[in-house]
């Protein structure tokens, strides 16, 4: 029973590694922003199952709310595909 939070955190960390790799390798910048949001969601689950809800309370608005907004605004001002 004590191993359940550790197992959930390990699976979520594996998912965040996959999302980070795809965000780095992607040629489409908008797709990279979406993958970065997926990585933020996985990190929120890790912080939650390790019993730190106050960090989730700060991490989620910054990393799901503000970071994709700034990234999408930058992509809109410049260009979408990487050359």
Between CA 82 and CA 72 the distance in angstroms is: 15
List the interface residues with another protein, window 32-71 (CB under 8 A).
34-35, 37-38, 41, 44-45, 48-49, 51, 53, 56-57, 60-61, 64-65, 68-69
16, 57 contact by CB (below 8 A): no
Give how far the C-alpha of residue 61 lies from the chain's centroid of Cα atoms, to the nearest Å. Answer: 12
Give exposure, 5-17, as e/b (b: 16+ Cβ within 10 Å).
eeeebeebeebbe
List the interface residues with another protein, window 9-28 (CB under 8 A).
11, 15, 18-19, 22, 28
Contact set with another protein (CB under 8 A): 1, 4, 8, 11, 15, 18-19, 22, 28, 30-31, 34-35, 37-38, 41, 44-45, 48-49, 51, 53, 56-57, 60-61, 64-65, 68-69, 72, 75-76
């Amino acid at each position: 029973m004590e191993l359940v939070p550790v197992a959930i955190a390990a699976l979520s960390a594996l998912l965040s590694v996959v999302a980070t790799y795809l965000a780095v390798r992607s040629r489409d910048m908008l797709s990279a922003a979406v993958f970065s949001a997926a990585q933020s969601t996985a990190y929120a689950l890790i912080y939650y199952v390790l019993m730190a809800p106050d960090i989730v309370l700060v991490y989620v608005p910054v990393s799901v709310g503000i970071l994709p907004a700034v990234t999408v605004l930058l992509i809109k001002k410049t260009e979408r595909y990487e050359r």
